[in-house]
Structure 1
Amino acid sequence: MNSFNNQPKSSMRRASSLDALRGYAILTMVLSATIVYGILPAWMYHMQEPPPAHVFQPELSGLTWVDLVFPFFLFAMGAAFPFSIRKRFEKGESRWKLVYEALKRGVQLTFFAIFIQHFYPYMLSNPQDESAWLLAIACFAILFPMFMRIPLPLPGWAHTTIKLAAYGIAVGMMAFTDYAAEEHFSLFTSNIIILLLANMAIFGSIIYLFTMRNWLARIALLAALAGIVLSAQTEGSWVQTLYTYSPLPWMYRFEYLRYLFIVLPGSMAGDLLLKWMNHSAKSSDIDKEVETPRRVAYGVLAISVSIIFICLIGLYNRWSFLTFALSALLLIIGWWLVRKRQGSGVLWRELFLLGAALLLVGLCFEPFQGGIKKDGPTFGYLFVTAGLGCMALIAFHVICDYLHCRRGTSFLVMSGQNPMIAYVACDLLIYPLFNLLGITKWFGVFHLNSWMGFLQGILLTALALLVTMFFTKIKCFWRT
C-alpha cells in the first residue's frame, strides 16, 4: 500500500462518508419499498420483478438502482469492521471476546428479523384491522428498550434487567398473537434482509477479526468460498453436503455466505479509510500539509458517479461489452488523475484500484450464470456491486470529507447512524398511524400515474427520515 500523507485536522474528527453511504443505502431501500407498484417504469423496480405483476422471474438478467441498495448497505457494513472491530482489538480486547460480540450481534439481529416480520400489519390480519396496527406500533415501542442504551443513571444489573424484560415481552407477544390465515409463530418467518445481515455480522466479523492484517488471507477465503459455491453443483460430493447442511435452517444457510463477496471487499475499503484517517490524525503542522486540488476532487467525483450510471444503464440494457469498455476507460482516467497526488488523492487512488479490480472481474463474470442477477446472486452481481460500492464510497468521501458538505448530507449521515429505526419506521409506525387516523384512504391519488406513484415513495421516505433524524438528534440509537 502507498503511504498516506497528512490531511487537515478538521477532516479527521469523523469520516462522514461511511455514515453517508450507509444512510443512502437505507433510505433508498425504504424508497424502493414505498413507491407504488405496477405503474412506474421497469427500471424503478428490481430487475427480476418487473411491472405490472411484479412476479419473480429468475431468468431475467440486468441491473437497476433498486438492485444496488442492499449490496451498498452490505459494503458499508464491511467497511465499518475496521472501526468497530480493529480499533477495539488494538485497544486490548481479546479476539475471543470480539468473537463472542460477533455471535451476540448476529443472534440479536436474528431476533430482530423474526420479531419485526411477525408484527408487520399484513402478517397480523387480512384485511388489516385496528388491532394489527396497534400491535405494530407496540412492536416499534418495545424495540427501544431492547436495542437502545437506557438513558438513565442506573446500575448495570438494572439496564440488563430492562433489556431482558423487553425481550421477554417480545417473546410473549409472538407466542400469544393470532396471525392472518390462522398461522402461528414460526422461527422460519423472518425478514430476509435482516437475516442476511445477521449472518454477515457473524461470519464477516469473525473472518475479519482473524485476517485484519492480511488481505491475502481474506482473498484466499473468498477463492475457497467460490470453489465451494461452484462445486456444490456436483451431485453427491462432500461440498454439496456442506453447502446444503444447516444445524439451524431458520437462521443459517451456507448460500447466505455468498454475500461475503461484498462484505469482505467492503472491509478492505474500510481498512484503506481507517489508514487514511490514522495518517491524517498524525498531522502536526497544518501549514505544511499538501492537499489534492479541488479540480481533481471534482473530476474524481464525476468519474466515480459516472461509472455507477454507466453500469446501471449498460447492464439494464444488456450492453455488456460497451459497459466493460467504458468502465475500464473511466477507471484508467480516474487513476491517472490521482496517481501522483497527496492528501485525499492517496485514498482515492487506493479505492480506485480496489474498485477497478472488483468491477472489472465482475464485468468479466457478467455473461456467466445467465447474466447478472440479484436473486440468486451471480458472481457478476456480487463483484460488480462490490466495485460500485467502492465508487460510491469515493463519491461520498469527496462530498462529505473533502468538500465538507455537512448541511447537504447531514440527513444521510444521521440515517446511517441509526439504520435500524429507518428500516422499520414506515411498516411499524407510519403506516399503522396513517391507518388509525384514516389517512391511507386518500392514498388512491398516488395511483393515477407514475409521477404520483414515485411521489408516494418520496413522501413516505421523507417521513421515515424525519422519524430517524428525531431519534438520532436526541441520541436515541438502536444498537446490537
Structure 2
Amino acid sequence: MNQRALALDALRGYAIITMVLSATIISSILPGWMSHAQTPPPEHIFNPEIPGITWVDLVFPFFLFAMGAAFPFSIGRHAEKGRSKLMLCYDAIKRGIQLTFFAIFIQHFYPYVISSPQDLRSWLLAITCFMVLFPMFMRIPYQLPEKIHKIIKLSAYLIAIIMLVTTQYANERSFSLYFSNIIILILANMAIFGSLLYIFTIHNRLLRICILILLGALMISKDIESSWVEHYLNISPIPWLYRFEYLEYLFIVIPGSFAGEILKKWLSENHENIYPTKVRTGVALLSILVSVILVNLYCLYNRFLEANLIITIILLTTGYLLLKGKPKTDIRTLWYKLFDLGSFFLLLGLFIEPFQEGIKKDYATFSYFFVTSGLAFMTLIIFNIICDYFKCVRSTRFLIMSGQNPMIAYVATDLLIYPILNILGITPLLEYFYSSPWLGFLHGIILTSLTVFITMFFTRIKWYWRT
C-alpha cells in the first residue's frame, strides 16, 4: 500500500462529526430538516408514517458504509499476510464483543442515567468512565512486555465491571445487559456478521451479493404472521447482543466493502499519471456529486419524487459521460468505478422508493439502505477529489483525524465535555442559545468543535481507541 486511504478516513470523520453535531444542536427550535425525518420538531415524537430523509439520516449509514469500506484494508491485509480464516473469525467476534461492552459501559455512565437531576457524582463518574476507556481500548505507548499490556487491559475491564454493578443509577435503575447504546450495538453486530460475511467471500463478490439477496428475502418474509420465518428469526438466544433485524444494515456495510475493494486496489497499484489533465474535470465532477446529494435530500424530504428521479438521472448521465473511457492510469478510472456502483445503488433505491410506503430511516426501508449507500459512494468520491486530487489535506485534517479515532469522538461530548462544563458552572449559560434558530445551531457547532479538538489532540499524540 503506497498511501493511506485519506478519503475513507475523511468520510468516517464526516460521519462521526455530523453524528455529534446532530445530537448537540437545539433541534426543537430548528426547521424539520435539521432533525430525523420521522421525529420532527418541536416535540420530536416518533412517527413512522412520515416518509423522507434529511441530512441527519445520512450520518449513521455513512459510518456503516465506512466500516464496510475498511474491511478490505483491515481484514484483507491480515488475510494477505497468511492469517487463517479461523483466526480472522476470532478477531471479528472479539471485536464485536468489545464493541458490545463499550455500548453497555458508556450507556450506563451518561450523567443523566446516573442521577436526575444531574449532580457532581454523575459528572465525576462520567469522566471516570471516559478515563477507564483509555487502557481498555488503546495500547499503552510504552515499551512494555506483551503480558503487561494484557494485564493493564484486563484490569481496566475489571474496573469497568465493578463500576457497572456497584453504581447507583437514577429512577431505581440497576445494571442491565439490555441497557446499551443502540448505535454502538448495531456496529458491534456489523463488526461480527459483516466481517464474517466478508471473510468467507473475500474473493467472491458474486457470492456476497447472493447472500444479501437471500437475506433480503428473509427480511421481506419475517413479518408474515404464522410463517416459519417469523417464528425462527424473531427469536434470539442472546437478545441483549443480537437480533435478526440488526442484520438489515448489512445492506449498507456490504456495498461499502465493494467501495473499499476498489479503493484498496487503486492504492496498491503504481500509476504514472494519477491526475486528470485538466483541473476543471475534478471541479465539474465535484459539482455534480454535491448536486446529486443535495437534490436527493431536498426532493425526498419534500416528496418531489418524479422531479428527483429525473434530475438525478440527468446528473448521473452527465457524470458518466465525464468519466467514461479514461486511461487506466488516470485517477478518473477510480472515480468512474465508484461512480458506476454508486449510481446503481442510488437508482435502485429510488426505483423501489414507493415500496414500504416511502423511504424512511425508522423503521428502515430497503429504499433507505440503497439510497444512502449510493450517496455514500458519491461522498467518498468527493473526499477523494478533495483530499487526494486537490491535496487539501490541511483543511480536511479535522475530518481525517476524527475519522482515525471515532470512538473517542463519539463519547467525548457526553462523558467529558458536558460534565466539565457542568462542574465549571458554564452549562446554565448555554440556555441563551435556546432563544433563536441560529443560536440553536451555533450551540451544536461549539460543542462539536470542542469534541473535534479533543479527538484531534488524542489522535496527534497517537492515543487511539481500537477494538
Partner deviation per Cα, 1:276-299 (whole Å, 9 max, x = no partner)? 1112xx34xx5x777453211111
Where does the alignment leave 5 or more consecutive residues of structure 2 unmatched? none
The corresponding residue for 2:448 is 461
Q: Which of 56, 71, 85 pairs up with 1:81?
A: 71
Query: Is the 1:292–1:345 contact (alpha carbons within 8 Å) kept by the matching residues of 2?
Result: no
- How far 1:154 sits from its partner (Å)? 1.1
1:418 aligns with 2:408: no
Query: Is the 2:274–2:331 contact (alpha carbons within 8 Å) kept by the matching residues of 1?
Result: no
The corresponding residue for 1:214 is 204
Partner deviation per Cα, 1:103-152 (whole Å, 9 max, x = no partner)? 00000000000000000001000100110000000000000000001112
Q: Which of 327, 334, 356 pairs up with 1:369?
A: 356
Query: Is the 1:118–1:190 contact (alpha carbons within 8 Å) kept by the matching residues of 2?
Result: yes
Query: Is the 1:292–1:341 contact (alpha carbons within 8 Å) kept by the matching residues of 2?
Result: no
The corresponding residue for 1:158 is 148
CA 1:273–1:183: 2 relative to 1, 3 Å: same
1:360 aligns with 2:318: no
Q: What TM-score results when the alignment is normalised by the length of structure 1?
A: 0.95
Paired with 2:146 and 2:5, the residues of 1 have a C-alpha distance of: 31
1:328 aligns with 2:313: yes
1:204 aligns with 2:194: yes
Paired with 2:209 and 2:425, the residues of 1 have a C-alpha distance of: 54
Partner deviation per Cα, 1:2-38 (whole Å, 9 max, x = no partner)? xxxxxxx9xx422200000000000000000000131
**Greater mean deviation of Cα atoms: 313-322 or 133-142:** 313-322
- How far 1:218 sits from its partner (Å)? 1.2
1:103 aligns with 2:93: yes
Secondary structure at the aligned position of 1:38 is classed as helix
**Greater mean deviation of Cα atoms: 232-241 or 65-74:** 232-241
Partner deviation per Cα, 1:49-74 (whole Å, 9 max, x = no partner)? 11110111111111100000000000
The corresponding residue for 1:407 is 394
Secondary structure at the aligned position of 2:28 is classed as coil
The corresponding residue for 1:278 is 268
Where does the alignment leave 5 or more consecutive residues of structure 1 unmatched? 1-8
The corresponding residue for 2:180 is 190
Paired with 1:293 and 1:265, the residues of 2 have a C-alpha distance of: 30
CA 1:134–1:367: 2 relative to 1, 3 Å: same
Secondary structure at the aligned position of 1:407 is classed as coil
Partner deviation per Cα, 1:74-115 (whole Å, 9 max, x = no partner)? 001100100001111011111111100000000000000000
Secondary structure at the aligned position of 1:408 is classed as coil
The corresponding residue for 2:249 is 259
1:450 aligns with 2:437: yes
Secondary structure at the aligned position of 2:248 is classed as helix
The corresponding residue for 2:295 is 310
Paired with 1:153 and 1:348, the residues of 2 have a C-alpha distance of: 42
The corresponding residue for 2:333 is 346
Secondary structure at the aligned position of 1:394 is classed as helix
Q: Which of 171, 177, 181 pairs up with 1:181?
A: 171
2:319 aligned partner, one-letter code = G
Paired with 1:190 and 1:468, the residues of 2 have a C-alpha distance of: 23
Paired with 1:203 and 1:160, the residues of 2 have a C-alpha distance of: 26
Matches within 5 A, 1:41-60: 41-60=31-50
Percent identity at matched positions? 58
- How far 1:332 sits from its partner (Å)? 1.1
Secondary structure at the aligned position of 2:118 is classed as coil
- How far 1:233 sits from its partner (Å)? 2.1
1:392 aligns with 2:379: yes
Paired with 2:170 and 2:414, the residues of 1 have a C-alpha distance of: 16
The corresponding residue for 1:225 is 215
The corresponding residue for 1:26 is 16
Query: Is the 2:27–2:34 contact (alpha carbons within 8 Å) kept by the matching residues of 1?
Result: no
Number of residues paired by the alignment? Answer: 465
1:473 aligns with 2:460: yes
- How far 1:441 sits from its partner (Å)? 1.1
Paired with 2:115 and 2:5, the residues of 1 have a C-alpha distance of: 44
Paired with 1:155 and 1:14, the residues of 2 have a C-alpha distance of: 29
Query: Is the 1:109–1:197 contact (alpha carbons within 8 Å) kept by the matching residues of 2?
Result: yes
Query: Is the 2:21–2:448 contact (alpha carbons within 8 Å) kept by the matching residues of 1?
Result: yes
2:436 aligned partner, one-letter code = N
Query: Is the 1:243–1:254 contact (alpha carbons within 8 Å) kept by the matching residues of 2?
Result: yes
The corresponding residue for 1:3 is none
Q: Which of 316, 322, 325 pairs up with 1:337?
A: 322
1:466 aligned partner, one-letter code = F
The corresponding residue for 1:125 is 115
The corresponding residue for 1:135 is 125
- How far 1:215 sits from its partner (Å)? 1.5
Paired with 1:356 and 1:468, the residues of 2 have a C-alpha distance of: 34
The corresponding residue for 1:145 is 135
Paired with 1:397 and 1:249, the residues of 2 have a C-alpha distance of: 39
- How far 1:227 sits from its partner (Å)? 0.2
The corresponding residue for 1:5 is none
Paired with 1:198 and 1:134, the residues of 2 have a C-alpha distance of: 27
The corresponding residue for 2:286 is 301
**Greater mean deviation of Cα atoms: 289-298 or 417-426:** 289-298
1:190 aligned partner, one-letter code = S
The corresponding residue for 1:250 is 240
**Greater mean deviation of Cα atoms: 85-94 or 259-268:** 85-94
Q: What TM-score results when the alignment is normalised by the length of structure 2?
A: 0.98
Paired with 1:250 and 1:127, the residues of 2 have a C-alpha distance of: 28
Query: Is the 2:30–2:41 contact (alpha carbons within 8 Å) kept by the matching residues of 1?
Result: yes
